[in-house]
Amino acid sequence: MARAYYATQTNRTLNQENLPMLSHGLESYRAYQWEVEITLPKGLEDESKLTLAAKSVGQIGFASEDIVVDRVNDKYFYPGKVTPESVTITFDNLVKGQLAEKLFSWMSNTYDPITGSFTPQFIRGSASTETGVGGFKNHIRLYQLDNTMFPVKHVHLYGAYPKSWRLAEFNYTTNEFHTIEVEIRYDFAVQYSGLV
């Protein structure tokens, strides 16, 4: 049985009736068609969403560590513990909407530099045990949009909290908007179809 290779299964013939296979048959999602929705802790909710100021979202993923078994001159590998990677979200530092203050308040739910306490909301018992939301860990959803700007898939980050908060460099020689970077740690990343 002959195997179909890339060169033999793509139609590159140009004619007036049909388009070549590569022009439409291998469509992909665009890296710039997305929205991020961040569920903020209680007390930080507002009508304006952080998604409007999100400029970029880093890579989301997790990796399985190897368990290595040595047998004489050979090595065998088995999947071990899975470690989720952190993700960095870059925000435009907008003049309106007090975005910097909201992000700093969100980071203060992990570590409050004024009091020196970690997860102060959680310690005070304001976390919701029913939904799991409301303490220092919350949910983040990244929606992938199709060509009509309709959400078709989304990645749900469970147990997310800000790990670091960084203001971008201040520099007179640059010609771009100022940004804020927030590195986020999460427990689980799950890919869903649709708006689940």
Model confidence pLDDT, tens digit, residues 143-193: 999 888 888 999 999 999 999 999 999 999 989 999 999 999 999 999 998
pLDDT confidence band for 6 (50 / 70 / 90): low
Residue with tokens 């033999």: 8
Return the pLDDT at 147. 84
Amino acid at site 89 = I
Is residue 121 within a helix (H) or strand (E), and if so which, with residue range? helix 120-123
- For the chain, the domains span 29-193
The tens digit of pLDDT for each residue in 108-120 reads 888 888 888 877 6
pLDDT digits (tens, 9 = 90+) for 17-63: 666 555 555 677 888 889 998 877 666 666 556 777 789 999 999 99
Residue 130 pLDDT more than 60?
Answer: no
Amino acid 112: pLDDT:
82
Domain 29-193 matching CATH 2.30.110.20: the answer reads: yes
Model confidence at 129, in pLDDT bands (50, 70, 90)?
Answer: very low
- Its pTM stands at 0.77
Full DSSP string of 89-108: EEEE--SSS-HHHHHHHHHH
Please tell me the total number of residues recorded for the chain in this structure.
196
Mean pLDDT of all residues in the chain? Answer: 81
Model confidence pLDDT, tens digit, residues 72-96: 999 999 999 999 999 999 999 888 7
Q: Looking at per-residue confidence, does 7 or 112 come out higher?
A: 112
β-sheet bridge partners, residue 182: 89, 165
Amino acid at 3: R
